Amino acid sequence: MDAERTGICLVGCGRVAKSHLAGAKQAKDSVRVAALVSRDAKKGEQYAACCGDVPVFATLEEAAARCAFEAVDLCVPNDLHCEYALRSAALGKHILVEKPMANTPADCVRMEDAAKRAGVTLMSGQSRRYYPAVLRSYEMAESGRWGALRCISAQLLGYLPGPPTPWWRDAARTGGLMLPLWGNHIFDYILWMFGEMPQTVYCVATRLNPAWEGEDEVAATLSFAGGRFACVRMSWNTRGGRGEWEGTERMLSSADILYQRQIQLDHGTLMLDDETRLVCDGETVFVDEEKESNFARMLREFASAIRQGRPPLTDAAAGRRAVAVQEACLRSAAENRLMRLTREETYV
């Protein structure tokens, strides 16, 4: 074992794994990629060549038996997150799992319980919290200088002609479409900023593009105590934005779409633009010009939390809460009704 760095086995060599591997390379003083797990041996070897020809294994258990590492980085499809987290905990490995943490809150609880029993860290891969502009927006809102948080309005508008990877076609695998694949990030931010769960959720969601089964048009409203609320509007059918993502191997970036959040405080308004620019009352106060990726920062936080024996910034509880709101939105849209969330994050 490397005393200074956390050894990681990356599981799943799909599209998002490229961003994780690039982040690990940037954060090489904190983490080292010790092994890869891929059911596609050829793809696994291609990915391994990009990070120093690390060994590739067909299963997680084989990797753990033949290679030394402390943690796993789960980049498998959404419907496999719970299964692989349980297997990782059984092996005594710390766990970073891509968002959404799982497709249901019940599976999130199973993952949390398994991690607690094994005494390992479980971290939700909310990579978009780690942009400096996003972190700065939280710090400014928390400072109290502009009063209390009242409302957050988020919009994500872009054009996606079809699924960039086959499993996105299947709503059972994705857990929906826009709500788990991007809405989960937005819900995580909203819950983090408000510091509590919403009291009610109402969502309208539909599908315009027959290329997939899940929702590609979404409008959701979350109400919080004290008359506060958040509104979320998302579309993958909106042309004419900053650009149009062609759906190739390249990861979807917020630079390809219109992605903004307005944060209304008692005495001021913050605006996040493309997660790299922060505006306060119409004046730009921060522009991210750093070259280190948000994935590198996320991996550093994962390694630091493990070494210090503390919960990470995007801990398992945060992951579960975002999934609870995601599920409430899906149920609200399916049943056309307002969902009231209890303190236990169930619905009535």
DSSP per-residue codes, 19-69: HHHHHHHHTTTTEEEEEEE-SSHHHHHHHHHTTT---EESSHHHHHHHS--
pLDDT in tens, 33-85: 999 999 988 888 888 888 777 999 999 999 999 999 999 999 999 999 999 99
- Asked if 288 contacts 22 with a C-beta cutoff of 8 angstroms, the reply is no
Q: CA 9 to CA 7: how far, in whole Å?
A: 7
Give the model's pLDDT for residue 46.
Answer: 85
Q: CA 17 to CA 10: how far, in whole Å?
A: 8
pLDDT in tens, 258-303: 999 999 999 999 999 989 999 999 999 999 987 899 999 999 999 9
Residue 246 burial (CB count, 10 A):
13
Give the torsion sign (CA, 119, 120, 122, 127): positive
Q: CA 312 to CA 52: how far, in whole Å?
A: 28
Q: Is residue 1 pLDDT above 90, yes or no? A: no
CA end-to-end span of the chain: 49
Give the model's pLDDT for residue 304.
Answer: 98
- Asked if 57 contacts 35 with a C-beta cutoff of 8 angstroms, the reply is yes
Q: CA 301 to CA 251: how far, in whole Å?
A: 22
Of 82, 87, 137, the closest CA to residue 111 belongs to 82
Strand (E) positions, 131-275? 149-157, 200-206, 217-224, 228-235, 258-265, 268-273
Report the predicted TM-score, pTM, of the whole model to 2 decimal places.
Answer: 0.94
- Asked if 184 contacts 328 with a C-beta cutoff of 8 angstroms, the reply is no
In three-state secondary structure terms, 213 is coil
**Preceding amide of 198 cis, omega within 30:** no
